[in-house]
């Protein structure tokens, strides 16, 4: 009885994860293409996709490598892109925190945007789920996404070797990033953070060791957080007055 | 480009380890402690704070044109952001940007 329902939740996870293949396939493929174009070997491209599984951070690291940024700057910039995952980890902890250590370690490995989004949505709509059911659902969403991510990267890396330079592949990285940014511009605070990031980066681009981006990012985070705070506090103050 | 294999692998290993530690951070803590609200508020803006700054120089001063601003690439970037913001669909935005760039470069000859 219990195993049946766990199995049902695993299958439900598979179903909820599958639509995200539409994002994972082109993104993985493009990383493969961009990595090969940048001069990485297939093993290195696959190393990124298997060990990191975070497209945006992988593209950031790749760009930093091409810019000859120092190792520390390249790593810190790529990790800055992934800081949002600390937020995911914190919000999943109440749901999965009771699992054995090895399962939490594995859950952390596959904690990508899509797995997080699908799982948290289900935990909210079905609050009565038990820990095994939650874990089954979580790993269900990851099951189609992770292997396909590897495969799409590999296909892109193979294709990248054959694509002629006239196709302007230098622009794969900017287009992929901008495509990720577009949907994020959903509030004034997000818009202001993005604008700050661009303006500060252009103003600071001459700073040594590619450190301008890190400074611009910190500034942009502060602007976003400030505006959010200002927008949520204003109505309260008006009520008080 | 002076990327040595050892340097590339070092970056891969460090980014992989760091990413896993970020993902494991709160799942790893026993008792599921909560993040302070001010920290959450800043973390919410990390992607939108890092990615636009990362691409801005690539869009404005592309290496392929020797750093000169290029109308085809600027238009393609604009189309990507616009379609992404309106449809909230990442593949659609990628297609819009790539399509615009392809057509513009063809027109430019």
- One DSSP character per residue, A141-189 reads HHHHHHHHHHHHHHHHHHHHTTS-GGG-GGGHHHHHHHHHHGGG--SHH
Is the pLDDT score of A207 beyond 80? yes
Task: With beta carbons under 8 A apart, name residues in chain B contacting A83.
Answer: 22, 43, 46
Let me know: does A101 contact A79? Beta carbons within 8 Å.
no
For residue range A61-112, list pLDDT tens digits in order. Answer: 999 999 889 999 999 999 988 888 888 898 888 889 899 999 999 999 999 9
A175, B80: Cβ pair inside 8 Å? yes
**B42, A224: Cβ pair inside 8 Å?**
yes
**A27 contacts: CB under 8 Å, gap ≥ 6:** A55, A152, A176, B90
Q: Do B7 and A183 touch (CB under 8 A)?
A: no
**pLDDT for position A94:** 85
Question: What's the confidence (pLDDT) of residue A210?
Answer: 72
- Separation of alpha carbons B107 and B103, rounded Å: 6
Q: What per-residue string of b and e applies to B68-105 under the rule 16 or more CB within 10 Å gives b?
A: eebebbeebbebbbbbbbeeebbbbbbbbbbebbeebb
Place of tokens 């691409």: B55
Question: What token pair was written down for A80?
Answer: 């800055």
Which chain A positions have a beta carbon within 8 Å of B37's beta carbon?
A: none
Task: Residue window 3-42, chain B: list those with CB within 8 Å of chain A.
Answer: 3, 5, 7-16, 18-20, 22-35, 38, 40-42
Comparing CA positions, the residue from A114, A188, A60, A79 lying closest to residue B46 is A79
pLDDT of residue B30: 61
Q: A146 in contact with B at a CB cutoff of 8 Å?
A: no
Q: Is A180 on the interface with B (CB under 8 A)?
A: yes
Cα–Cα distance measured from residue B61 to residue A206, given in angstroms and rounded to the nearest whole number: 13
Q: What residue segments make up the domains of chain A, in order of their start?
A: 2-178, 185-241
Question: What is the rounded CA–CA span in Å between residue A84 and residue A212?
Answer: 20
Please tell me the predicted confidence (pLDDT) of residue A19. Answer: 84
pLDDT recorded at residue B1: 44
Give the distance from CA B86 to its chain's centroid. Answer: 18
Q: Would you tell me which residues 91-120 of chain A have a C-beta closer than 8 angstroms to some C-beta of chain B?
A: 92-94, 96-97, 101, 104-105, 107-109, 111
Query: Is A78 at the interface with chain B, CB within 8 A?
Result: yes
**In degrees, to the nearest 5, what angle opens at C-alpha A73 toward C-alphas A151 and A28?**
15
- Check residues B106 and A155 and name the one with the higher pLDDT: A155
* Shortest Cα–Cα distance, A5 to chain B (Å): 24
What pLDDT, on a 0 to 100 scale, did the predictor assign at position A26?
A: 86
pLDDT in the model for residue A240: 44
The DSSP annotation for B47-78 comes to HHHHHHHHHHHHHHS-GGGTT---HHHHHHHH
Q: How far apart (Å, rounded) are the C-alpha atoms in residues A23 and B68? A: 32
Give me the interface pTM, i.e. the ipTM: 0.86
How much is the pLDDT for A241? 38
Greatest Cα-to-Cα distance within chain A, rounded to the nearest angstrom: 67
Write the DSSP assignment of A184-220 as a string of letters. G--SHHHHHHHHHHHHHHHHHTTSGGGHHHHHHHHHH
Q: What is the pLDDT of residue B108?
A: 78
Which residues does chain B have with pLDDT short of 50?
A: 1
d(CA A46, CA A186): 33
Q: What is the pLDDT of residue A164?
A: 72
Task: Find the closest chain B residue to A22 by CA distance.
Answer: B91
How many CB atoms are located within 10 Å of the residue A102 CB?
A: 8
pTM to 2 decimal places: 0.80
Higher pLDDT, A231 or B64: A231
8 Å CB contact between A121 and B54: no
Percent of chain A with pLDDT over 90: 58
pLDDT of A168 higher than 70: no
CB within 8 Å of chain B, chain A residues 11-30? 22-23, 26-27, 30
How many CA atoms lie within 13 Å of A4's alpha carbon, on the beta-carbon side? 1
pLDDT at A124: 83
Angle, alpha carbons B20-B24-B25 (nearest 5°): 115
Look at residue A1 and tell me whether its pLDDT is greater than 90: no
With contacts defined as CB-CB under 8 Å, which chain B residues touch A195? 52
Q: Does residue A239 have a pLDDT over 70? A: no
Better-predicted residue by pLDDT, A154 or B31: A154
**What pLDDT score does A120 carry?**
86
């Amino acid at each position: 009885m219990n195993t049946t329902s766990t199995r049902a939740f695993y299958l439900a996870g598979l179903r909820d994860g599958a639509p995200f293949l539409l994002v994972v396939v082109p993104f993985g493929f493009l990383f493969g293409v961009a990595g090969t174009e940048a001069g990485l070997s297939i093993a290195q491209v696959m190393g990124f996709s298997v060990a990191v599984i975070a497209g945006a951070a992988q593209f950031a690291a790749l760009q930093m490598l091409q810019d000859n940024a120092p190792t520390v700057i390249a790593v810190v910039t790529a990790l800055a892109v992934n800081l949002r995952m600390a937020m995911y980890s914190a919000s999943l902890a109440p749901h999965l925190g009771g699992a054995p250590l090895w399962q939490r370690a594995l859950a952390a490995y596959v904690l990508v945007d899509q797995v997080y989004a699908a799982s948290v949505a289900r935990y909210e709509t079905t609050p009565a789920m038990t820990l095994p059911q939650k874990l089954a659902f979580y790993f269900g969403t990851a099951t189609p996404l992770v292997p396909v991510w590897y495969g799409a990267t590999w296909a892109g890396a193979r294709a990248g070797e054959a694509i002629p330079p006239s196709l302007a592949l230098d622009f794969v990285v900017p287009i992929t990033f901008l495509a990720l940014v577009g949907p994020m511009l959903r509030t004034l605070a997000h818009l202001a953070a993005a604008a700050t990031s661009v303006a500060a980066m252009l103003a600071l681009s001459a700073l040594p060791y590619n450190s301008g981006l890190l400074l611009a990012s910190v500034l942009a985070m502060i602007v976003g957080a400030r505006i959010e705070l200002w927008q949520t506090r204003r109505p309260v103050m008006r009520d008080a007055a | 480009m002076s990327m040595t294999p050892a340097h590339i692998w070092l970056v891969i290993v460090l980014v992989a380890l760091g990413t896993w530690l970020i993902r494991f951070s709160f799942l790893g803590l026993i008792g599921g402690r909560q993040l302070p609200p001010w920290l959450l508020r800043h973390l919410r803006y990390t992607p939108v704070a890092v990615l636009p700054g990362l691409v801005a120089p690539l869009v404005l001063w592309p290496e392929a044109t020797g750093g000169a601003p290029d109308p085809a690439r600027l238009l393609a970037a604009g189309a990507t952001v616009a379609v992404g913001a309106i449809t909230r669909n990442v593949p659609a935005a990628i297609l819009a940007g790539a399509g615009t760039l392809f057509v513009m470069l063809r027109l430019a000859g």
